[in-house]
């Protein structure tokens, strides 16, 4: 066989081999990704970006929609509009500090729709947080301990009693990132709780106080102690704190900011409290 014919046969075989590889096999090119891998990565990125937007920028609407999604809907977003302060402050804090330590006073045992509506919201929105719930009604707590309260750290007693507050701090270890007072709403209860629990709030932490629209109602001035009488009005005490903050030229106050909305306020503690 001539040299020309040999070359022709060789090239023909080579061409057939190349065509076979192209038609029946696939050799990934350098840096080539499968369609599935690209889609998966895009889905993960999209999910992370959406979560970031929801917690950092869309907090108000995100909190509202999440709370409304439960059949037992907390009055935080029905009777009240607390999605404003929780969306602006709580959700961004959690996004930056997911392992935060969280205390809410008031399980809602006296609510018409039953206890635990806000607990469901916390489990959904701040699932990685260390959750503590404090409640006056011990019977109610025991009834739901292995149900809706499963996995929640529980404290029982009257928030207006200093010995009870001390026991809460001892049992929990204090050092909270977040405190929410949605308890008895009595002025002196709120004030006693604030005086005690603010001290064990972490620098940079947030202290929320709900339902102060009832402060001047005689019914919510009934609870008194030897350190707090019926003349104390909690919003007025917060105004004193505001004045201290506003005119604190030497910056001695450990309050970094105060934000008040309809019926409620949140106070932020300075990072450097020295």
Interhelix angle for 35-56 vs 59-68, to 10°?
Answer: 100
Count the neighbouring beta carbons within 10 Å of the beta carbon of residue 12: 10
User: CA angle, corner 9, sides to 8 and 15, nearest 5?
Assistant: 90
Asked if the model's pLDDT at residue 201 lies above 80, the reply is yes
Helix, strand, or coil here: 130? strand
Task: Compute CA 24 distance to the chain's CA centroid, rounded to the nearest angstrom.
Answer: 55
Read off the pLDDT band of 10 (50, 70, 90).
low
**How far apart (Å, rounded) are the C-alpha atoms in residues 259 and 274?**
23
Predicted local confidence at residue 211, as pLDDT: 98
Asked whether 205 and 176 are in contact (CB, 8 A), the reply is: yes
Asked if the model's pLDDT at residue 38 lies above 60, the reply is no
Residue carrying structure tokens 């009832």 = 214
CATH number listed for the domain at residues 35-269? 3.40.50.150
Predicted local confidence at residue 1, as pLDDT: 56
Q: Which two tokens stand for residue 129?
A: 């947080």
Predicted local confidence at residue 43, as pLDDT: 66
Asked if the model's pLDDT at residue 42 lies above 80, the reply is no
Which H or E run includes 239?
helix 234-246
Asked if the model's pLDDT at residue 19 lies above 60, the reply is yes
**How far apart (Å, rounded) are the C-alpha atoms in residues 48 and 85?**
23
Predicted local confidence at residue 260, as pLDDT: 98
The one-character DSSP state at 116 is: -
**How far apart (Å, rounded) are the C-alpha atoms in residues 180 and 208?**
5
Q: What DSSP string describes 203-218?
A: EEEEEEE--GGGTTSG
Sign of the alpha-carbon torsion through 157, 163, 169, 171: negative
Would you kindly state where each structural domain of the chain is located, as residue ranges?
Answer: 35-269
Asked if the model's pLDDT at residue 30 lies above 60, the reply is no
Predicted local confidence at residue 46, as pLDDT: 87
Q: Which two tokens stand for residue 117?
A: 């509506």
Average pLDDT over residues 76-88: 98
Average pLDDT over residues 240-263: 92
Residue carrying structure tokens 């001695």 = 252
Longest dimension (CA), the chain: 119
- Read off the pTM: 0.84
Count the neighbouring beta carbons within 10 Å of the beta carbon of residue 200: 17
**How far apart (Å, rounded) are the C-alpha atoms in residues 215 and 218?**
8
Task: Give the residue with greater pLDDT, 2 vs 259.
Answer: 259
Average pLDDT over residues 82-91: 98
Predicted local confidence at residue 47, as pLDDT: 84
Exposure b/e, 216-247, CB count within 10 A at least 16 = b: eeeebbebeeeebeeebbbbebbeebbeebee
Q: What are 98-144's pLDDT values in tens digits?
A: 999 999 999 999 998 889 999 999 999 999 999 999 999 999 999 99
Q: What are 180-197's pLDDT values in tens digits?
A: 999 999 999 999 999 999
Asked if the model's pLDDT at residue 178 lies above 60, the reply is yes
């Amino acid at each position: 066989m001539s040299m020309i014919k040999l070359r022709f046969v060789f090239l023909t075989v080579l061409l057939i081999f190349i065509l076979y590889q192209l038609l029946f096999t696939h050799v990934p090119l350098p840096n080539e990704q499968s369609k599935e891998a690209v889609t998966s990565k895009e889905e993960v990125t999209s999910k992370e970006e959406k979560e970031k937007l929801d917690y950092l920028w869309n907090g108000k609407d995100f909190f509202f929609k999440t709370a409304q999604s439960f059949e037992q809907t907390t009055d935080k977003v029905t009777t009240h509009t607390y999605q404003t302060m929780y969306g602006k402050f709580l959700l961004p804090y959690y996004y930056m500090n997911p392992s935060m330590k969280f205390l809410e006073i008031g399980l809602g045992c006296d609510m018409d729709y039953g206890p635990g509506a806000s607990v469901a919201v916390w489990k959904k929105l701040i699932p990685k947080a260390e959750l503590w719930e404090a409640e006056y009604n011990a019977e109610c707590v025991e009834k739901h301990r292995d149900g809706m309260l499963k996995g929640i750290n529980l404290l029982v007693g009257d928030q207006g009693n200093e010995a009870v507050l001390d026991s809460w701090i001892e049992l929990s270890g204090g050092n909270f990132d977040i405190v929410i007072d949605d308890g008895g709403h009595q002025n002196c209860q709120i004030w006693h709780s604030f005086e005690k629990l603010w001290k064990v709030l972490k620098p940079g932490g947030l202290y929320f106080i709900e339902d102060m629209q009832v402060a001047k109602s005689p019914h919510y001035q009934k609870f008194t102690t030897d350190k707090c009488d019926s003349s104390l009005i909690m919003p007025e005490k917060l105004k004193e704190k505001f004045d201290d903050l506003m005119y604190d030229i030497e910056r001695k106050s450990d309050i970094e900011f105060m934000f008040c909305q309809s019926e409620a306020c949140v106070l932020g503690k300075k990072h450097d409290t020295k």
